[in-house]
Structure 1
């Protein structure tokens, strides 16, 4: 029987540079590069590595840009999704490590679940901790989840779980859906129509550091199989929370599933009722881009 991988913790002194990490993430696309030991895709199992980054604070200029592109009101507390973008460079560092079994380019973001245990002030200092969970079977391949935590001192204030799909030979059957006895996303009442500009991906990428080529330009998106650039899933989630901002409790969990990409430029419909919400096709409400739910934590 093979022994379980050794658990290791690495403390970082500064946030990793996402531009450098995206360049590294693209290396597996070069024929033969996957055989190099420092290129992701050669590992057999998800490494049991935890990355930590202490003494993190909100960048005021970044926060203003993030709030504007996502539609949040400028406040003295941080949007719960803003902490996700501060943890995101650590996600990329894990997924581009040479021991990681999958290349980061081509992964599909399936689901994101955030729990805010209390509001985090814009001037507070927090510590981040990020690790991956074991691989799970999926009808369309395999999935893994990256778990992030933020603490202020010894107090856990925020948690995040992002589930990613690597396509391949799947387990068969239907794709799992959230267990929910509420109305279907197509039946939620219409709230607003959002017009999304062609440069949305670049503006969100500049504010968040997430410059995945599928979001930046139509040309780079086409090279990776999309007809046009697509909106970031985490922008879509943040935009929904901004629309619900006045109704959010101090402590809550917001769980979303990403159903289909949003092509840019484009128009989408936002629908919501009693904590449930969805982003749908404007003309066909049965075509769901995102569905989610907010519950008091």
Structure 2
């Protein structure tokens, strides 16, 4: 993760509401279609003198954030997690997410937020985080690069407490069909054949799963709410939040003591309602590169992987 010396800090008075961020994204997308942009939604003011696209050299920051313990309890119950006195890692992601999204609607951000595909997350949960701690959040974007299907970017969020970083996360997003001027897309890699592991669980996700998650963590992205709102954005049906899937996986896989790191990669969406077959297994001593615990989710009765990931103690 890069340093902060080259980035201009923008202090936000509070954590922004995601509804306002999505509204700003709609407005920005509409404005980009009227004029003054490069093909694919990149703004000209996000380019350097040679026409290459640049990420805004800014960091958005909220200095003081308190956890709503009622919200925490609702999250734990939604995920089937143990109600305990420390913050689950995906809950922390949810606290930082609006600050990270505010970076993506910055005037200089060159990619369209609406329609972004969530590819993966990598997280360092550096120590146990207590609900009563006063937290800070900062976020920025880095490493804009070609992808075989378009352009991808990392959005980094860091949560601090007592003057130290306690959580860091990198979310990787894809803008499909967007070409970066002067840069060539890599070849599409060969997709390995998915073989389902031994099932250890099964999740039956109701049609309102996305609305239930949004009701707790505030992510009211229309692609997760109803089939009607998802179809308006080009989806055939609404889909589960990627971080809901990560939260469900981590509820049974994350260590109960100390720090840990984890990652997840998304292979295909989970349409709602739907059923996900799930596997979590000890990977210590095996060939799996992920670490202590590996988890996988796939479509019931089919060889179609939805996600895979790992959890490793620090």
TM-score, normalised relative to structure 1: 0.89
CA RMSD of aligned residues (A): 2.2
Distance 1:177 1:82, change over 3 A: farther
What runs of 5+ residues in structure 2 fail to find an aligned partner? Answer: 1-5, 48-53, 283-292
Secondary structure of the residue aligned to 1:77 is: coil
**1:3 aligned residue:** none
Is 1:109–1:165's contact at 8 Å kept on the other side of the alignment? yes
Q: How does 1:275-286 map to 2 (within 5 A)?
A: 275-284=293-302, 286=303
* Alignment counterpart, residue 115 of structure 1, candidates 99, 108, 124: 124
- Measure the CA separation in 2 of the matches of 1:72 and 1:149: 24
Aligned length: 283
- Measure the CA separation in 2 of the matches of 1:76 and 1:177: 42
What runs of 5+ residues in structure 1 fail to find an aligned partner? Answer: 1-5, 179-183
* Alignment counterpart, residue 71 of structure 2, candidates 62, 72, 77: 62
Distance 1:185 1:54, change over 3 A: farther
Is 2:128–2:257's contact at 8 Å kept on the other side of the alignment? no
Shift of 1:208: 1.0
- Measure the CA separation in 2 of the matches of 1:282 and 1:238: 19
Q: How does 1:181-192 map to 2 (within 5 A)?
A: 186-192=195-201
Distance 1:288 1:10, change over 3 A: same
Distance 1:65 1:175, change over 3 A: farther
- Measure the CA separation in 2 of the matches of 1:35 and 1:62: 42
Q: How does 1:7-26 map to 2 (within 5 A)?
A: 7-26=7-26
- Measure the CA separation in 1 of the matches of 2:22 and 2:267: 24
Deviant stretches of 4+, over 6 Å: none
- Measure the CA separation in 2 of the matches of 1:212 and 1:36: 27
**2:236 aligned residue:** 227
Secondary structure of the residue aligned to 1:124 is: coil
1:50 aligns with 2:59: yes
Shift of 1:23: 1.0
- Please give the per-residue CA displacement for 1:51-103, whole angstroms capped at 9, x wherever unaligned: 11112121122212222222222110000111111111111211112211112
